[in-house]
Structure 1
Amino acid sequence: MTQRTPVFPADRQALYEINGYSAAIRSGDLLFVSGQVGSRPDGSAEPDLEAQIRLAFANLKAVLAAGGCTVDDIVDVTSFHTDPEKQLETVMRVKSEVFPEAPYPNWTAVGVTWLSGFDFEIKVIARIPGHV
């Protein structure tokens, strides 16, 4: 049986402890990252959509780094959007900065009605480089 090891970024453990989940789980050579949102240090949502999306990616990068990965190691993405049609242009602008060239990861976008006060959430699976 493959061992599951929890991964946490350096400065957000309380968020995960309060809500009872891990930021990510390392299993074999894969890192499964929980959904990341554009939350400020106090846990509140960044109100500006583009800033919220950028902050979600910054939070994602922090979890990836804690697990020994970067965005280049991402193989699969699922994103959640409260208003996909209105948000698509902004999401694509930020996405093109994070993933500027091929090969791009798989990506599934899902429209939802509720994200606990947030408008965008992103979860990923990454392959841990050099992990045996």
Structure 2
Amino acid sequence: MSQREAIFPDTSERHALYETHGYSAAIKSGDLLFVSGQVGSRLDGSPEPDFKKQVELAFENLSNVLKAASCNFDNIIDVITFHTDPEKQFETIMEVKNAVFKTTPHSNWTAVGVNWLAGFDFEIKVIARIPSAY
């Protein structure tokens, strides 16, 4: 069985947030990367108030975690997103998603409506396959 390895983005300010809340940005296990839910938080941990910018920032934060594990959006195989008001937010989320995920086949995607995200309105959690050096 592979050992698990914690992965953190290079941004030291965000690393402090993970320490404060007691979790890793991602865990590498074998050739899989399990990324914790990423939100549209600013460096100080506060939510970005503009919804579209919050979604874009969540994807940016996700990108930083993926890069720390030598991955990118094309390596993602499974996505779960959480939304506080899916019906109103869907169009904006799809606009941002389509700008980020440009290649096919598309990954799996599950969207879940929730009533609380600690002050945020969108969260994205993924599993990615880490590219090998064959």
Contact 2:74/2:103 (8 A) holds in 1: no
The count of corresponding residues between Structure 1 and Structure 2 is 132
**Is 2:15 the partner of 1:13?**
yes
- Equivalents in 2 of 1:19, 1:42: separation in Å? 13
- Equivalents in 2 of 1:128, 1:102: separation in Å? 18
**Structure 2 SS opposite 1:100:** coil
- Equivalents in 2 of 1:131, 1:109: separation in Å? 33
Segments of structure 1 that go 5 or more residues without pairing to the other structure are none
Segments of structure 2 that go 5 or more residues without pairing to the other structure are none
Structure 1 residues 84 and 52, CA gap change in structure 2 (3 angstroms):
same
Question: Percent of counterpart pairs with the same letter?
Answer: 67
- Equivalents in 1 of 2:31, 2:99: separation in Å? 26
Q: 1:42 aligns with which of 44, 53, 72?
A: 44
Give the alignment's TM-score, normalised by structure 2. Answer: 0.96
- Equivalents in 1 of 2:133, 2:2: separation in Å? 13
Contact 1:37/1:121 (8 A) holds in 2: yes
Contact 1:82/1:112 (8 A) holds in 2: yes
Give the aligned partner of residue 97 of structure 2.
95
**Structure 1 SS opposite 2:125:** strand
**Structure 1 SS opposite 2:53:** helix
Give the aligned partner of residue 32 of structure 1.
34
Moved over 6 A (4+): none
